[in-house]
A and B are shown apart, each in its own frame.
Chain A
Amino acid sequence: ETGVTQTPRHLVMGMTNKKSLKCEQHLGHNAMYWYKQSAKKPLELMFVYSLEERVENNSVPSRFSPECPNSSHLFLHLHTLQPEDSALYLCASSQDLQGWNTIYFGEGSWLTVV
């Protein structure tokens, strides 16, 4: 069983909808991440949180809005998405922001924008 749980696993939404992806980590980690995974492309880091504070925002469009209410939970709020935003969204966590820490990924949320 993964220490990082993501819900929903699959989501289909229209371009005018508002939805949210949820992530919970059970590992006692202090850092959490959102990655986007598209076919045949490298994993794209979207957001990084450390102790509930956002430390990285990789030029992500404002239609993606992260929220980290505590060190165990991370949300990605979605609104007015485009079809090209369809992808697998991976949540991850690590002990802290030291670069040699292992990143633990969830199983991802498959998003389809229609």
Chain B
Amino acid sequence: QQQVKQSPQSLIVQKGGISIINCAYENTAFDYFPWYQQFPGKGPALLIAIRPDVSEKKEGRFTISFNKSAKQFSLHIMDSQPGDSATYFCAASMGNNFNKFYFGSGTKLNVKP
């Protein structure tokens, strides 16, 4: 059973637009939710992360919105740029347990110039 469900599988956005990627989880014991960004030919790299004591975290053009009651969280990329074109993975873990992440299946983002 997939612990973290991610959608959409692929996304095309015009330059300057907002990219939104959604994730849902079932296990209420999860308390750490990172997003990883992966460019072609590279390994995933941490982009931004949130803990459930806040509903939103913003770093530059990237924002995580977290809805604890709905067990959902999303990544918003404002003013999307062609350089943001990559695959994005959400993940969830039990932060005070050992470092075992459950990853979503990924969203391939293509930002058109």
Considering only residues 82-98 of chain A, those with a C-beta below 8 Å from chain B are: 90, 92, 94, 96-98
Residues in A with CB closer than 8 Å to B89 are: 42-43
A106 CA to B36 CA in the complex, in Å? 13
Chain A interface size band reads: 20 to 34
Q: What is the chain B residue whose CB lies nearest that of A110?
A: B41
A2 CA to B44 CA in the complex, in Å? 11
Q: How many A-B residue pairs have CB under 8 A?
A: 72
Chain B interface size band reads: 20 to 34
The answer, among A42, A48, A90, for a CB contact under 8 Å with B99, is A48
> In the bound complex, do residue B98 and residue A42 qualify as a contact, i.e. CB atoms below 8 Å apart?
no
Residue B46 lies at the interface, judged by CB distance under 8 Å to chain A: yes
Q: What is the chain B residue whose CB lies nearest that of A98?
A: B99
> In the bound complex, do residue B96 and residue A99 qualify as a contact, i.e. CB atoms below 8 Å apart?
yes
Q: What is the chain B residue whose CB lies nearest that of A39?
A: B106
The answer, among B4, B100, B105, for a CB contact under 8 Å with A99, is B100
Residue B12 lies at the interface, judged by CB distance under 8 Å to chain A: no
Nearest CB in chain A: distance from B80 CB, A: 22
Considering only residues 1-47 of chain A, those with a C-beta below 8 Å from chain B are: 2, 4, 31, 33, 40-43, 45
The answer, among B34, B94, B103, for a CB contact under 8 Å with A42, is B103
Residues in A with CB closer than 8 Å to B97 are: 99
Residue A59 lies at the interface, judged by CB distance under 8 Å to chain B: no
Residues in A with CB closer than 8 Å to B105 are: 40-42
Interface residues of B (CB under 8 A from A): 2, 4, 9, 32, 34, 36, 41-46, 49, 51, 89, 93-106
Interface residues of A (CB under 8 A from B): 2, 4, 31, 33, 40-43, 45, 48, 50, 55-56, 90, 92, 94, 96-108
Those 4 A-B pairs whose CB atoms lie nearest each other, nearest first: A105-B43, A99-B95, A97-B98, A43-B103
